[in-house]
Structure 1
Amino acid sequence: MTETRYAIEVREQHFQPVMSVRTISSLSKLPQLIGETYERIMLFLKEMDVNPAGPPFVCYYNLDMEHLDVEIGFPVEDVLPGEGDLCPSEIVQGKMVSCMYKGNYEKMNAVYDEMNAYISLHGYKAKGMAYEIYYNSPMDVKSAEDLLTRIELPIE
């Protein structure tokens, strides 16, 4: 068996409501869009007197770097009403191949490669989307090597 550099596991994702925005963005505009969207969602949640139920995430539905189809949001305890493009949604339920990654976002390809190899090796089929859950941000850490991101790939 091939040796892996990352701790990859399979876990079950249960029903998890979220408040999110789904949109299209180029990769170059994504960091600013993510920051602005997180701020909008946090303001909306504060107005509703609701706290996030966990760290923020981005779900990537494709890999077209000029037209990324992304969902940006926060998990919440209960399904909430939407407002404009802020919509109630949920994290896909079912099996996930999951890995906690510590390091620079720009070096995440190696983790994705190993996770996809794991999926193939174990006979799973990827559903074609990827969640990145951000436990901190570049503004929170001294070095990009200290960024903590959980990557989750829904599988069948």
Structure 2
Amino acid sequence: MPRISDFQVIERGPQATLTIYSDVELKQIHSEIFESHKKVAAYIQQLDMKPSGPFFVIYHEFSKKSVKMEAGFPVRMERTGKEDIQPSHLTSGLFLTALHLGPHQEIPKIYTEMNQWLEQNHFKTTGVSEEIYYNQENSRVKENQLVSMVLIPIEKLET
């Protein structure tokens, strides 16, 4: 049961974040995401703050062997970084979104569906994709209960 929502076009304003930028081998993505989540969450707590939204990953670049990604949390106002945790921001603009239920390894199927929607509805992508992870696998949440949102920045094609 991968996609659990219709596709939606949303507009989002800019958002301050604290993130870790990584260039990681594909086979290490899951562990890198887990470590980034843990480190950024601990730093935000150390600042006596709470995230202003769920954990996210922006996928800047894929190759056959590695991925350049940025993982972190939105925060209410820009803060200074520490070591590999740095201030950044979520970009503003129009996004095509869809919710996914299930293992993260199944999310690529949604990208295929989104690309078809973009073509059929005369839109094109304008940047890099983002995934928001609303929960994490643990003793109470099983892999098939993971909820994620995929966001792709878009603009309408000239017709």
Fold match by TM threshold 0.5: yes
Amino acid at match of 2:43: F
| Divergent runs of 4+, >2 A | 140-143
Deviation at 1:53, TM superposition (A): 0.6
Deviations 1:112-131 (A, max 9, x none): 11111111222211124111
1:144 alignment partner in structure 2 = 143
1:69 alignment partner in structure 2 = 68
The correspondence of residues 6-155 of structure 1 with structure 2, limited to 5 A, is 6-139=5-138, 141-155=140-154
Amino acid at match of 1:12: E
SS of corresponding position for 2:119 = helix
Name structure 1 gaps, 5 residues minimum. none
Deviation at 1:93, TM superposition (A): 0.8
Q: Provide the identity percentage.
A: 25
Deviations 1:55-78 (A, max 9, x none): 101111123242201000001111
What number of residue pairs does the alignment pair up?
153
Query: Could you tell me the TM-score, scaled by structure 2's length?
Result: 0.88
Bigger Cα displacement from structure 2, 67-76 vs 35-44 = 35-44
Amino acid at match of 2:60: Y
Deviations 1:82-127 (A, max 9, x none): 1222111111110000011111222222211111111122221112
Pick the structure with more strand per residue.
2
SS of corresponding position for 1:17 = strand
Aligned CA RMSD, in angstroms, stands at: 1.7
Name structure 2 gaps, 5 residues minimum. none
Amino acid at match of 1:94: G
